């Protein structure tokens, strides 16, 4: 009789322990679900944390598949995030922003610029060319995607995508299909050169000095 009572007591304790374990795991599920974990779906939670009454329903193969599904999602998420970061970095490189500037800029006096060479004016993104005839103003903005070109021995080149222009601003090679713009320039009352970046002119137009 005593042995029967002892067995009944052990069985009661086992049931209580199982009930406590089940309640604890359900609480863990609720906490994970509230954090919106991308790797835990409702079906996963039912499979992983509700082994339920019939243990035969969950074979080692089921556990292997669940673990494999979790690792697949983790790998896909990691690769996806890495790909997005790389794409953002790649897209950022070829599109340097041209600094904002006024449509009409003052660039100093004609005598400030040496003869027979293109002088870059950084604040205005233009080149000033001076010869015996006068002053001409050439845009430094590449006609492909708006990068700032640099002067070279044969003309100009774009450091972003490799477009090249001759000394007159006409495209020679690369993706740019249009020539660099020439801008209207005039002399203000105080003798300072004033460039209108909204007025394009022929490369043959010269401001006499």
Where does the pLDDT of residue 72 fall: very low under 50, low under 70, confident under 90, or very high at 90 and above? confident
Higher-confidence residue of 8 and 85: namely 85
Give the end-to-end CA distance of the chain in Å, rounded to a whole number.
Answer: 124
The confidence band for 12, taking pLDDT boundaries of 50, 70 and 90, is low
pLDDT at 93: 53
27-53, pLDDT tens digit by residue? Answer: 555 555 554 455 455 555 454 445 444
3-state SS record for the chain: CHHHHHHHHHHHHHHHHHHHHHHHHHHHHHHHHHCCCCCCCHHHHHHHHCCCCCHHHCCHHHHHHHHHHHHHHHHHHHHHHHHHHHHHHHHHCCCCCCCCCCCEEECCCHHHCCCCEEEEECCCCEEEEECCCCEEEEECECCCCCCECEECCCCEECCCCCCEECCCCCEEECCCCCCCCEEEEEECCCCCEEEEEEEEECCCCCECC
> pLDDT tens digits, residue range 90-127?
555 554 444 445 789 999 999 999 999 999 998 899 99
Domains and CATH numbers, the chain: 2-92 (no CATH), 104-201 (2.102.10.10)
| Model confidence at 87: pLDDT above 80 | no
- Report in angstroms the alpha-carbon separations of 182 from 85, 92, 161: 39, 28, 22
Whether 61 has a pLDDT exceeding 80, the answer reads: no
d(CA 12, CA 103): 87
């Amino acid at each position: 009789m005593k042995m029967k009572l002892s067995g009944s007591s052990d069985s009661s304790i086992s049931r209580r322990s199982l009930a406590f374990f089940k309640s604890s795991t359900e609480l863990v599920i609720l906490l994970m679900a509230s954090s919106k974990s991308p790797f835990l779906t409702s079906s996963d939670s039912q499979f992983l944390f509700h082994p339920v009454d019939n243990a035969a329903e969950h074979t080692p193969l089921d556990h292997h598949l669940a673990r494999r599904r979790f690792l697949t999602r983790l790998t896909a998420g990691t690769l996806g995030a890495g790909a997005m970061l790389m794409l953002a970095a790649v897209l950022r490189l070829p599109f340097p922003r041209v600094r904002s500037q006024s449509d009409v800029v003052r660039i100093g006096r004609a005598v400030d610029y040496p003869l027979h060479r293109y002088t870059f004016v950084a604040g205005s993104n233009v080149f000033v060319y001076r010869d015996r005839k006068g002053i001409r103003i050439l845009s430094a903005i590449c006609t492909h995607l708006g990068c700032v070109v640099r002067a070279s021995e044969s003309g100009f080149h774009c450091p972003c995508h490799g477009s090249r222009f001759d000394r007159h601003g006409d495209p020679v090679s690369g993706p740019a299909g249009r020539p660099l713009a020439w801008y209207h320039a005039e002399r203000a009352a105080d003798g300072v050169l004033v460039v209108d970046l909204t007025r394009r002119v022929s490369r043959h137009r010269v401001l006499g000095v």
